[in-house]
Amino acid sequence: MMCGVVKVVGLGPGSQALLAPAGRQAVESADVILGYATYLDLIADIAPDVPRQSSGMRKEIERAGEAIRLASQGSTAVVVSGGDPGIYGMAGLIFEMREQTGAAVEIEVFPGISALNAAASLLGAPLMTDFAVVSLSDHLVTLEEITKRLELVTQTDFILCLYNPKGKKRVKPFEEACEILLKWRAPETVVGIVRKAYRPGQQVTLVPLGDLPNCDIDMLTVIIVGNQKTRVIDGRMVTPRGYRNKYEFSEDV
């Protein structure tokens, strides 16, 4: 039988302008497109004649299994994922499923602009030096693991990006995260909050860390917590990389 392919495509944060051309071409090459309904909506006008299979938020396993099944029958099955598919996305699961099922299918991953890239650009330039990324979702990882990682990275001077910060019913990880952050970092530390980056209703907010526990945070939000060097420059969040220590800036630009 002909060997099909599963293409796992990152759609970027939301606007089609930030979907990479290679990812768009992959969508256009599909025999079938699978994904969470919100992501299918984002690409409704790309290859509109290609059949879509939408599935709910927690149906990742069924979606991955179906993509592998269709590809093993010779189809090009495109699985769309928000942001980058290899960052808390669908790519890893597809590899695991192929291993488990032994299906003879190719897998291709198409990178996307992740929420951290999108948020950083809207905030200014907060990720100019080393940073760490932590998801606060305790759906697949225990809360103990999350808090342990947070404790460790917060003590270093890494800038921190927090994904999946708070759900309607899942508030404890966020509360614990705020407590850990405030234990190790000054309350004046600059924090950038970006909601719905590059989507209608986008919100970009800067607050001191001390105010973070009282901010409106939800699952459509990514949070960037600055390090000791992070400053607000002309209203934007910037982590200077150190050029100024090494070189004199000329007054006349």
Encoded tokens for 230: 């992070």
- Select the residue interacting with ligand SAH from 19, 60, 84, 238 (CB under 6 A): 84
* H helices, E strands: number in the chain: 8, 13
Is 194 near ligand SAH (CB under 6 A)? yes
Stretch 6-35 residues interacting with ligand SAH (CB under 6 A): 13-14
In the Cβ-directed half-sphere of 227, how many Cα atoms lie within 13 Å? 20
Establish if 226 lies at the interface with ligand SAH (CB under 6 A).
no
Q: How far is the CB of 118 from ligand SAH (least distance, A)?
A: 6
The structure tokens listed for 79 are 């699985």
User: How far, in Å, CA of 161 to CA of 106, rounded?
Assistant: 32
Output the smallest distance, CB 171 to ligand SAH, in A.
14
Tell me the residue number closest to ligand SAH, measured at CB: 83
How many Cβ atoms from other residues are within 10 Å of residue 176's Cβ?
A: 17
Q: The sheet that has 236-238: what strands, in order across it? A: 124-125, 236-238, 231-233
| Per CB under 6 A, 111 contacts ligand SAH | no
Taking the least distance from each CB to ligand SAH, the nearer of 68 and 174 is: 174
Query: Does the footprint of ligand SAH cover residue 122 (CB under 6 A)?
Result: no
Query: By C-beta, is 161 or 190 nearer to ligand SAH?
Result: 161
Cβ(104)–Cβ(3) below 8 Å: yes
Q: Give the binding range for ligand SAH (CB under 6 A) out of 43-51, 70-78, 91-99, 112-120.
A: 112-120
Tokens 């103990």 sit on residue: 144
- Residue 88 near ligand SAH by CB under 6 A: yes
**In 81-228, which ranges are continuous DSSP H helix?**
91-101, 115-123, 143-155, 172-184
Paired tokens of 146: 């999350």
Exactly one of 24, 172, 199, 231 binds ligand SAH (CB under 6 A); that residue is 199
Site string for ligand SAH, 156-185 (x = CB under 6 A): -------xxx--------------------
Binding site for ligand SAH (CB under 6 A): 13-14, 81-84, 87-89, 114-115, 118, 163-165, 194-199, 219-222
